[in-house]
Amino acid sequence: MSTASIPGYTYGSAAVPRSPLTLEELEHLKQAVTFGEEDVAALRRSREALAGRVDEILDVWYGFVGSLPQLLRFFSHRETGEPIGDYLQRVRARFGRWILDTAAAEYDQAWLDYQHEIGRRHHTGKNATDGADSVPSIDLRYVIALIHPITATLRPFLEASGAAPEEVDRMHDAWRKAVILQVALWSEAYVR
């Protein structure tokens, strides 16, 4: 899917506000996660293993979200509680692109800005991008909680790439750090 056809995907565009954090603050945060050049390289190697299987990964993640009412409600109508199909589909397209963007591992200003935008869209900016009539925010505790299932469920896809076990471990660890780093950045939209 070309990025132009992903609804609401604005990474790198002038529509994305500047992050309140500087690139130096990003560097400090990366150090705290022990995220280094080896992780950048491992993420980029993982892109090949994952790029052809994005839809299957999303099936697993959406299956998980759909299995837990406390998660599905974030994609459901705020009054009726009915899941909003159109909203789920629009977010799914961006979620798929997020897999590729995370594996691309570009930690520049455009990327930093978009992390804050993603955080904002989980909280005060939720629903607006998709015109959804859903609950006003995803509770931050659930955003943090999902670090585990999101990263744990990637492992079978990394293993299926045929990489040696140590290489799977390296790519998996890089993904764990990358997701923790991003959730840490997203949390800024909740506390500022």
User: d(Cα 176, Cα 178) in Å, to the nearest integer?
Assistant: 6
DSSP 73: G
Question: Is residue 135 part of the contact set for a copy of itself (CB under 8 A)?
Answer: no
Closest to a copy of itself by CB, 90 vs 122, is: 122
CB of 152 to a copy of itself, least distance (A): 7
Residues from 20 through 39 that contact a copy of itself (CB under 8 A): 28-29, 31-35
Give the dihedral of Cα atoms 82, 55, 4, 129; nearest 10 deg: 20
The total of other beta-carbon atoms located within 10 Å of residue 134's CB is: 20
Closest to a copy of itself by CB, 127 vs 137, is: 137
Question: Is residue 167 part of the contact set for a copy of itself (CB under 8 A)?
Answer: no
Backbone angles phi, psi at 134, to 5 degrees: -105, -175
User: d(Cα 133, Cα 74) in Å, to the nearest integer?
Assistant: 10
Closest to a copy of itself by CB, 6 vs 60, is: 60
> Helix, strand, coil proportions of the chain in percent (round to 5)?
70, 0, 30
Residues from 51 through 90 that contact a copy of itself (CB under 8 A): 68, 70-71
Question: Which of 122, 170, 172, 176 contacts a copy of itself by CB under 8 A?
Answer: 176
Closest to a copy of itself by CB, 71 vs 100, is: 71
What number of CA atoms fall less than 13 Å from residue 176's CA on the CB side? 11
CB of 35 to a copy of itself, least distance (A): 8
**What residues make contact with a copy of itself under the rule CB under 8 A?**
28-29, 31-35, 68, 70-71, 140-142, 144-149, 152, 173, 176-177, 180-181, 183-185, 187-188, 190-191
